[in-house]
Amino acid sequence: MSTVDAVIAEARSWIGTPYHHLGGGDQVPGRALKGVGIDCAQILIETFSAAGAIAWFSTGRYPADWMMHRDEERYVSFIERYADEVAPIDAQPVDIVVWRYGRTFSHGGIVTAWPKVVHAFAPYRFVVESDASRPSELTMQNNGSPRPMRAFRLRGLSR
């Protein structure tokens, strides 16, 4: 199985897991448990590390609403350790897409086959595979305009 196939299979294996800030519990930040709980940052780490594409790391604790009160691109800074930005129109399987919520790009998911994206989304309460080409709470802002989106490609990933 290629790394791309392994990432997609691992991402999809989380579908149905409840959304839970910081993963499976606040006692061990960042350690998510399949079927128990995961957030949108942890699903990236757990998926790519399980597929052997990156080493697992902890994000440490962070408030659930940090993106509403700060301008620091904390979420993107973790992604940029391992990936380079690409044009969203060029998104390919296992690329990471992120959307702006609040003041920063703070929600992301893994492309399975563009525009399909696996992500842990608090408003949906579970890990889901969404169609990012359709207007939804994921892709549209409250004022009806498209939500700003960026895309990233993991460095060194064999395709």
Q: Domain-by-domain residue ranges, the chain?
A: 3-56+71-154
Which one has a higher pLDDT value, 29 or 5? 5
What CATH code is assigned to 3-56+71-154?
3.90.1720.10
Residue 123 has what pLDDT?
86
- Average pLDDT (56-71) is 70
3-state SS, residue 56:
coil
Q: Indicate if the pLDDT at residue 29 is higher than 80.
A: no
Is the entire prediction scored with pTM above 0.85? Answer: yes
State in Å, rounded, how far the first CA of the chain is from the last one: 11
Residue 69 has what pLDDT?
62
- Average pLDDT (71-82) is 88
Q: In this prediction, what percent of the chain has a pLDDT beyond 90?
A: 67
Confidence of residue 157 (pLDDT cuts 50, 70, 90): confident
- 90-117 burial string, b = 16+ CB within 10 Å, else e? ebebbbbbbbbbeebbbbbbbbbebebb
Residue 29 CB coordination number (10 Å): 16
